[in-house]
Chain A
Amino acid sequence: MSSAKKADANGGPAPVRPENQGAAEKATRGTLKYVDDNFGSANFLKRSMDKVFPDHWSFMLGEIALYSFVILLLSGVYLTLFFHASQQVVTYNGSYQPLRGVQMTDAYASTLHMSFDVRGGLLMRQIHHWAALLFVTSIVVHMFRVFFTGAFRKPRTINWHIGTILMILGILEGFAGYSLPDDLLSGTGLRIAYSVAESIPVVGTYVCYFLFGGNYPGQDIIPRLFIIHVLLVPGILLALISAHMMILWHQKHTDFPGPGKTENNVIGTKFYPGFFLKTNGFLFMVFGMVTALAAFAQINPVWLYGPYNAGQVSAGSQPDWYILFLEGSLRMMPNWETHIWHHTIPWNILIPGVIIPGIMFNLLALYPNIEAWVLKDKGYHNLLDRPRDVPVRTGLGVMSLTFYMVLVAAGANDILANTFHWSLQATTWVLRVMLIVLPPIAFKVTKRICLGLQHHDEALLHHGVETGIIRRLPSGAYVEIEEPLPAKKAETLAKQIGYHGHDDHHELPAGTNGHAVAEPDSHGQTVTRPVSVAAKVRGKLEDFWDEPRQTVPDTQPHPED
């Protein structure tokens, strides 16, 4: 086999199949030939196996999302074998003693059955729930990586849009999933979701009645959520994940700048066999981690909550973490409501439940387009930014995250107040103020840190590392001796910094930043062309965005001078 391989790699004479093939080699070659004879796949297969993937730990975050999706499909199919998506009222007589004889829906009873009377059923339920948390979490952390390194820039902007839709669908799918057991906690979540839909002006009540088949809770929501949860959304997820991966495969992965790396190459591990083996190992590791959690960390013990009852609720009802920001925004909202012409607009639900998440998700999805518009950036980008090198983007990202995190904390304001013995009202008010005040501060601080880090990089590169050795000069002055960076480190750093010297928008002629341009017309007279409002806005935004790089003045006397 090795001789054939060598002939291939050298690109010498046309390769021939070796004479003496062992049984295994013969079978392998036979299979590959059979597939190619039918599909002409040899070239594609060869290219795919040779495909190079760059190595960086942060490129594995998306893989975690992919593998948790695989786990979700496997465990989910198993759960459907036992779950009854029905709101028929039954009397429980399974082996969980505290609830025997209690009236409950079939959905809740079948969830108890699979937890207590099916061997491994509880394990599967907990695997499914932990994998769902991991799915949404890894998508979000993967998006941090993509956002803060600028991997969303052209030509990957459409893939960012797909990714955002995947995240939103992941959240919806998670909510639908944990609503299915029809326990007291999930029923409360559904009740709030119903109220949010009900708050939409004009069509709200119709949306609710069509979705729930009548007034809350009705008889239809569990069967309908079930088919949405096991067929509709997973189908769309599967299609979009495939598109996401195919686009990634076609466009090749981005990489951080470094020695030897350019906009036009990829350096890393070939897909087959190196990347293939490692990523398989990673799949098993992710599966193992989820299983370990499912074995030893209890999640969503629905039997403790009891069946859903419209007249009951338990204090401390927190949803899964990815819904917490919505819960928080509902809790923070002042109690505004408008009554006009015999109609009611409940702003206290409409704004936190519909408008704020709408704005957040839209801004998230469209950020790459906004940035490219502001910077007039039409170039292709395969090398990634370090967050410090794009202070405004990093600042905006941290600012948005701060806003989000305050909402998440607000979703647990009762727990916070209870745990730390704070007044609930004071906690809520402090969080309301933080929601407005903290994001701009986060922007300023982040930008400042980025500029500081840039300064540090420049200093390292131009002055070297501080040694702690003080030398006295003949003139009497004291200087600290600085050692130049090791050559390899210096080169990497220079690459990372140097990469930012030639952004496309800097090459535009000066004076076009949305300001009126004075230029000679065909008669040689100077005319001032009017500038559209959009262009003016864009220019102002670009001025804001365009943070000049930090440089280090060469002021310190050098010992060798």
Chain B
Amino acid sequence: MSDEGATPPRKRVGRRPTDGNDPAAVMTKTEEGVGTEHGDTAEEESFAELQVAALFGVGTLFLLFFIVSYFAISIRDSIGQYSNYALGGSLALALFSIGGGFIVWAKKLLPHEKAIQERHDFQSPEPDQIESENTFLAGIDDMGLGKHKLLRRTLLGALGLFPLPLVIMLRDLGPLPHNSLLVTGWKKGTRLVDADTKLPIKLGDIEIGGLATVVPEGVEDINEFALAPTMLIRFGPGQIQSKKERHWGYADHVAYSKICTHAGCPISLLEQQTHHLLCPCHQSTFDMIHDAKVIFGPAARPLPQLRITVDDEGYFVALGNYSQAVGPSFWERR
């Protein structure tokens, strides 16, 4: 970099790098061991240097631009978009310039050397292998692992139990499941409240074909009762085809668990014409006028139905908890 101000050459004469796949070039070099290609004029070299220097210089400029825009461009404008463009753009260009500088430097200023190197054997000579094996086995012999049976067994016992305390200490990572996978927050007389507004739902609030996501009254953070979300659907008169479904509902209103029996996604898409309910995650489809039976997709079980009625004030209430576990299947599930 010493002669930065050297006069630029008149014509563009960057040196073409040797083709690495040129077999003839490789062959001659193989005979020599190491081959170097010369033939750069001083003019070519100083032009190449100028190219590299220009790239590093441009890189520096973009880094400065980054620093300026960090302070000058507000993150409040257009939710930080301009700041992101300016910072990212200048940093990217700086990195490209510096990287380009390195590559042009390597390609144009370095001697083009095709080096050849011998590979060594991967394995040791056999006598060395045998000697190493002997040393190892002699050590075992010296320690008496072969003849001191009692020592060997107690050692295995002690080392075998050694990890146990560490494993046992993982016990308190969480409670045991017991029956908690059945807990949903629904009890007899619990009002169905809208999941967003937390307001109780009255007979007539939902239009025919409508669907409301409801949770048990009193649940503040729904994530604490992740199995609670339930859909309250109103069908037209006579649409529900299942006697049991009608019976568990109230005046063409039925309540079903919103948690998919496949992988636990909250189901949301009800097709009003077909009364099919589609899970957006894996496309399990349930027929909501036939006990929510599965008609397509990977879910194996119908969605559990929640028995509901209407209390004295006309609000929907549960008649108890779900009669079976909601959500995905698990080993202990009956």
Chain A interface (Cβ < 8 Å from any Cβ of B): 50-52, 55-56, 89, 95-96, 103, 115-120, 122-123, 126-127, 155, 188, 191-192, 194-196, 198-206, 208-218, 220, 251-252, 258-261, 263-270, 273-274, 277-278, 280-285, 287-289, 291-292, 294-296, 308-317, 327, 330-337, 339, 342-346, 348-349, 352, 380, 382, 413-414, 424-425, 428, 488-489, 491-492
Q: For window 249-301 of chain B, which residues contact chain A by CB distance below 8 Å?
A: 258, 262-266, 268-269, 278, 280-284, 294, 296-301
* Complex CA distance for A126 and B88, rounded to whole angstroms: 10
Q: Within the complex, what minimum Cβ distance (angstroms) separates A253 from chain B?
A: 10
- The answer on a CB contact under 8 Å between A265 and B99 is no
**Are A215 and B101 in touch, CB under 8 angstroms?**
no
User: Chain B: which residue is nearest A268 at the CB level?
Assistant: B115
Whether the pair A191, B110 counts as a contact (CB closer than 8 A) is: no
Number of A-B contacts (CB under 8 A): 308
Q: Which of B4-12, B136-144, B198-206, B325-333 contacts A (4 or more CB under 8 A)?
A: B325-333
CB closest residue in chain B, given A427: B283
Contacting A214 at CB < 8 Å: which of B70, B175, B264?
B175
Which A residues touch B296, using CB under 8 A? 425, 428
Question: Is B211 interfacial (CB 8 A cutoff)?
Answer: no
Of A95, A155, A281, A425, the residue contacting B99 (CB under 8 A) is: A281
Q: What residues on A are CB-neighbors of B229 within 8 Å?
A: 310-311
User: Is the CB–CB distance between A277 and B23 below 8 Å?
Assistant: no
Nearest CB on B from A432, distance (A)? 11
B interface vs A, CB < 8 Å?
A: 20-24, 26-27, 29-30, 70, 75-76, 79-80, 83-85, 87-89, 91-96, 98-103, 105-107, 110, 113-119, 122, 170, 173-177, 180-181, 183, 195, 213, 215, 221-223, 225-227, 229, 258, 262-266, 268-269, 278, 280-284, 294, 296-301, 327-334
**Chain A residues whose CB sits within 8 angstroms of the CB of B114 once the complex forms:** 267-269
Closest CB in chain B relative to A532 CB, distance in Å: 28
**Distance, CA A292 to CA B79, complexed state (A):** 19
B268 (CB) vs chain A CBs: closest residue:
A313
Q: B226 to A217, Cβ gap below 8 A?
A: yes
A195 touches B331 (CB 8 A): no
A52 touches B331 (CB 8 A): no
Q: Are B174 and A334 within 8 A (Cβ)?
A: no
Q: Do A267 and B115 have beta carbons less than 8 Å apart? A: yes
Distance, CA A214 to CA B252, complexed state (A): 37
29 contacts between A and B (CB under 8 A): A52-B117, A115-B80, A122-B80, A123-B91, A205-B330, A205-B332, A206-B177, A213-B174, A215-B227, A252-B117, A260-B23, A261-B26, A263-B119, A265-B118, A266-B117, A267-B117, A281-B103, A282-B99, A284-B99, A284-B100, A288-B92, A311-B195, A312-B268, A317-B281, A334-B298, A335-B262, A382-B119, A425-B296, A492-B23
Q: If A214-B174, A296-B89, A316-B280 touch, does A311 touch B334 (CB 8 Å cutoff)?
A: no
Q: Which residue of A lies closest to B230 (CB)?
A: A311
